[in-house]
Chain A
Amino acid sequence: MSSNDHHDDHEHHGPGYWKVYWILLVLFVISVLGPEMAKIMDMSPTMAKATVLITAFGIAFVKAYYVIAYFMHLKTEIKYVQYMLGTTVIFMCLFFFAVAPDVMRHDGSCIKRDPNNAEICLQHSWVNSAAAAQVQYAVTQQNKAVDADENSDDSDKISMDKVSGVKWSSVGLYGNASPMSNALNAYRSEKESANVATKNMHSSYWYIEEDIASNQLQPHPALHIDKPDQEFEEDGRTKKKNKFGNLVGHFQPIEMAMVEAAKHQGQALQFAPGTVAKDPNLPSEEDWLQAEKTMQVMERQPSKFVAFKVDPQLAALGKRLYDGTELVAGKALPCNGCHGVEALAMNAPKAKAPTFYGIDGRWTLQSKQADPNSPKRTVQEPMQADFAYFSESIIKPNAAWTRNYPIGGMSNVYKTYQMNESHIEALYHYVASLK
C-alpha cells in the first residue's frame, strides 16, 4: 500500500475532527468537575478518592486515546509504529515497577520479629529513614501551619519552633503539684467559679488577659512584653497577635501570670522571653523521638484495633454538641474553638489542638505522669486513640498531652460545663464518624 492510499484511508474512519474536539471538551469538563464534586458533596474519603481516580486519571487516558487515535491518526498508521511506541511505553512501565518498591516503601521486608508478638517487626532488611523522616516532618509542619497561611504577614514571620506551645500552662511546665502551678491554678479556679463562661470567654486564659488589661494582674518588669501587633476576628472573638505571631491572649498572659504567681511564691522564673524553660520533669526530645520511631514501626504492622461502631443518631447529637447548637446546662461547648474536624493539612487554622478527623484508631504519642507521687512525666508507649482515651482527655484534660500541642491547652470543660458521660459518648459517636 502506498502512502497515498494510506492517507485516503483514514479520512473515512472514525469521527470528524470537530466531533473529536467536542468529545475531548466534554471529557475535559468531567475531569475538572468530578474532583470538585467530590469536594462539594462531602464524600467519604474512599468515595472521593475513587471519584478523583476515575474522573481525573481514568478520563485522562480516554482523552489521550482520542488525541492519539484521531488527531495523530495512530489508529490508521502503519502497524509497526504502534509497536515501536508501545515498546517505549512498556519500558516506562518497567522503569516504574522496577524502582517503585524502593521509592514507595520506606522499609524492606521484616527480618526479625518480636518473639512475644509476631506482628511487631523489630528489624527490617533496609530502612529509608530519610524519606520516613521527611514524611513525618512535612506532615507535622502541615498540621502545625497554625494561622501562618491566612493571618500572618510574611515579612515578620519568625520560626515558631522556639516560641510555640508550652507556655500555655503552668501544669505542663512545673508539674501538677508544684507550688507554682498550685498558685496559678488557685487563681484560675477562683476566676472560673466567679465568672460564668460565656461564648466569648470560654477558657481561663481569657480571664487572665482581661485582668491584665484592667491592671488587676501586674506583669513582671523583667519580662519583655510584646504589644499586640495585630487584631483579627476568629470564631466570633477578637484576638490579638504579637510579633511572633502568637495569640497574645493565649500565651503571653499566662507567662505573666506565672511570673506573678512566682513572685507570690518567692520563686524566680528560669526562662527568658521567647524561650521555654527546660523542666527536668518533662520528657526530653530524645524520649519523644525514640517513642516516635517505635510508633512508626507499629503503625505499619497489622492492627488488632476494632473501629468504634457509630450510631448515626448519637453522632448527630454529638455534632450539635460540637457545633454548640446543642447546649449543655444552658451553655455551648467550646470544642470547635480549638479542635477542627478536617483532615490534616486542611486543619491549619484550627491547629491549636489535634483535629478530630480520623481520631478513632489514630496512632498517637502521649506524655503522662508516670507516678502519681512524682511530677516526672514520661512518653507513653504509642497507642491508638479510642473511646476510653477520648473520655479521659475530657474528664482529666491534664492527665496526658499530645506531642506538638500546648501542654494543658485543654481546659477542664467537663467540670466547667457540667458535662456528663452521655455527652462524651455522643461526642465520640460524632468524632468517630469523621473518617
Chain B
Amino acid sequence: MQGKPIATNRSSTGIPTGKLAIWWLLASEIVIFGGILAAYLMHRLGHVEFGGYAAHTNVYAGALNTFILLTSSLCAVLAHQAAEKGDGKKAFKMLWFTIAGGGLFLLVKSAEWTYEISHGLTMQSNAFWHFYYVAAGVHASHVIVGMIAMAVVSFRALKNEELQRVELAGIYWHFVDIVWIFLFPLLYIAK
C-alpha cells in the first residue's frame, strides 16, 4: 500500500496543503475567466450592436442551466457536510447528484448550441458569438473536468477513504457555478 500523500494532512501553512492547492488553482482560474469576462465586458460596452446579437440567445435555456448549477452546488456542499460527519455513503450519493447536475447542464447546453449553430450563429458570425462560444465553451470544459474529479473522489469516499477530498472537489464546483452566475446575465440577459 502506498503511503498517504503529503498533501492530506500536513498543515504547516495553517491550512491542509490539498486545500491550499485548490485555492491556488482557483486563483489562476480567476485570471483565466477574469480575462475572458473583462474582455467581453469592454466589447459589450463599446459595441452597441452586441445587444442586438444577444437578443438571439435563449434566456430560458440559460435560466434553466443557472437553476441546475445552483442545485448541483447545494448537492456538492451537502456531500461535503456528509463527508465531515464521516458518512461516505451519503457523500457518494450527493457527489453523484452533483455529477448528474453537470450532465444535465451539458445536455441543455448542447441542445442550445445545436439550435444556434444550425441557424447559422457560429463562432465566425461576429465578435459577440465568438465571445459567446469561447466563454461558455471554456466554462463547459470546466464542468466536464469537475464531473470527472468528483467521480474519482466519490469511489474512495464510498469506502470512507480520503473524505477530505470531497470538500476540495466541491470548492472547485462552486467556483464553476460562480462563473456561470456571471456569464448568465452577461450573455443572456443584457440585450
Which of A18, A31, A78, A95 contacts B34 (CB under 8 A)?
A95
Residue contact B49 to A3, C-beta cutoff 8 Å: no
Contacts of A32 in B (CB 8 A): 59, 63, 66, 189
Knowing A1-B14, A68-B178, A345-B55, say if A92 contacts B31 (CB, 8 Å).
yes
Determine whether B104 belongs to the interface, using a CB cutoff of 8 Å to chain A.
no
Is A126 at the interface (CB under 8 A from chain B)?
A: no
Distance from B145 Cβ to chain A, minimum over Cβ atoms (Å): 17
* One of B46, B81, B171 near A105 (C-beta < 8 A): B46
- Contact A103–B189 (Cβ < 8 Å): no
Which of B67-75, B106-114, B148-156 faces chain A?
A: B67-75
A95 to B38, CA, bound (A): 8
Contact among A2, A25, A92 with B35 in the assembled complex (CB-CB below 8 Å): A92
**In this assembly, does B1 line the interface, its C-beta being within 8 Å of a C-beta of chain A?**
no
Question: Judging by beta carbons under 8 Å apart, are B185 and A17 in contact?
Answer: no
In the complex with contacts A106-B46, A131-B47, A345-B55, A17-B181 CB distance below 8 A:
no
Q: Does A57 contact B (CB under 8 A)?
A: yes
Contacts of B49 in A (CB 8 A): 134-135, 138-139, 142
B-contacting 9-mer, from A83-91, A216-224, A316-324, A379-387: A83-91
The reply to whether B42 and A100 contact each other, CB–CB distance below 8 Å, is yes
Cβ < 8 Å to A, chain B residues 18-60: 20, 23-24, 26-28, 30-31, 34-35, 37-39, 41-43, 45-49, 51-53, 55, 59
A35 contacts partner chain B, Cβ-Cβ < 8 Å: yes
0/1 interface trace, chain A 374-398, chain B, CB 8 Å (1 if under): 0000000000000000000000000
**B174-A89 in contact (CB<8A):** no
Q: Which residues of B contact A134 (CB under 8 A)?
A: 47, 49, 127
Given the interface pairs A52-B190, A104-B46, the reply to whether A85 lies near B77 with Cβ below 8 Å is no
Task: Say how far B98's CB is from chain A's closest CB, in angstroms.
Answer: 12
Question: Which residues from B are CB-within-8-Å of A17?
Answer: 74, 77-78, 81
Residue A258 CB within 8 A of the other chain: no
Q: A85-B30, A138-B49 are in contact. Are A64 and B35 (CB under 8 A)?
A: no
The answer to whether B46 and A88 have CB atoms under 8 Å apart is no
Shortest CB-to-CB span from B46 to chain A, Å, is 4
User: Is B141's CB within 8 Å of the partner chain A?
Assistant: no
Pairwise interchain contact A142-B47, C-beta atoms closer than 8 A: no
Please, which residues of chain A bring their CB within 8 A of the CB of B59?
32
Which residues of chain B (65-95) have a CB below 8 Å from chain A?
66-67, 70-71, 73-74, 76-78, 81, 84
Q: Which residue of B lies closest to A149 (CB)?
A: B56
Select one of A2, A21, A60, A99 contacting B74, CB under 8 A: A21
Cα distance, A11 to B81, chains bound together (Å)? 9
- In the bound complex, CA of A32 to CA of B178 (Å): 16
Considering only CB atoms, which chain A residue lies closest to B14 in the complex? A78
Query: B27 touches which one: A2, A85, A103 (CB < 8 A)?
Result: A85
Contacts A17-B78, A92-B30, A100-B42 given; does A85 touch B47 at CB 8 Å: no
Given A85-B27, A92-B34, A96-B38: A72 touches B189 (CB 8 Å cut-off): no
User: Quick check: B46 and A103 within 8 Å, CB to CB?
Assistant: yes
**Given A28-B67, A88-B30, A104-B42, does the pair A60, B185 have CB atoms closer than 8 Å?**
yes
Contact status A135-B31, CB under 8 Å:
no
Q: Which of A26-47 contact B (CB under 8 A)?
A: 28, 31-32, 35
* Chain A positions within 8 Å of B131 at CB level: none
Confirm or deny: B103 has a beta carbon within 8 angstroms of a beta carbon on chain A. Answer: no
Q: How far is the CB of B106 from chain A (nearest CB, A)?
A: 20
Bound CA span A344–B120, Å: 22
The answer to whether the Cβ of A118 comes within 8 Å of any Cβ in the partner chain is no
Q: Is the CB of A71 within 8 A of B185?
A: no
Size bracket, chain B contacts: 35 or more
Contact B84 A7 (CB under 8 A): yes
Q: Would B178 and A64 count as touching, CB distance under 8 A?
A: yes
* Assembled-state Cα–Cα distance A26/B31 (Å): 29
Query: Would you give the shortest CB distance from B128 to chain A, in whole angstroms?
Result: 9
**Residues of A12-29 whose CB lies within 8 A of B:** 17-18, 20-21, 24-25, 28
Q: Which of the residues B23, B177, B181 comes within 8 Å of A81, measured between beta carbons?
A: B23
Q: Which residues of B contact A365 (CB under 8 A)?
A: none
Point out which of B24, B52, B67, B76 has the most chain A C-beta atoms below 10 A from its C-beta. Answer: B52
A133 vs chain B, min Cβ distance (A)? 12
Note all chain A residues with C-beta closer than 8 A to B190: 52, 56-57
Beyond A60-B181, A135-B48, whether A35 also contacts B189 by CB under 8 A is yes
Q: Is A63 an interface residue (CB 8 A)?
A: yes
Chain A's closest residue to B173 (CB) is A71
Which one of B20, B70, B174 lies within 8 Å of A72 (CB-CB)? B174
A31 touches B48 (CB 8 A): no
Which of chain A's residues have a CB closer than 8 A to the CB of B74?
A: 17-18, 20-21, 71
Distance (whole angstroms) from the CB of A27 to the closest CB of chain B: 9
Q: Which residues of B contact A225 (CB under 8 A)?
A: none
Residues of A within 8 A of B9 (CB): 3
How many Å from the CB of A16 to the closest CB on chain B?
9
Chain B positions within 8 Å of A, measured between CB atoms, are 9, 11, 14-16, 20, 23-24, 26-28, 30-31, 34-35, 37-39, 41-43, 45-49, 51-53, 55, 59, 63, 66-67, 70-71, 73-74, 76-78, 81, 84, 120, 126-127, 170-171, 174-175, 177-178, 181-182, 184-185, 189-190
The 8 closest A-B pairs by CB, nearest first: A92-B34, A138-B49, A345-B52, A104-B46, A56-B185, A96-B38, A103-B42, A88-B30
User: Can you add 20 more A-B contacts, CB < 8 Å, to A52-B189, A56-B190, A104-B42?
Assistant: A3-B16, A7-B84, A28-B66, A32-B66, A60-B181, A63-B70, A63-B181, A67-B178, A68-B174, A71-B77, A72-B175, A77-B15, A78-B15, A81-B23, A89-B34, A92-B31, A95-B38, A104-B46, A134-B49, A135-B49
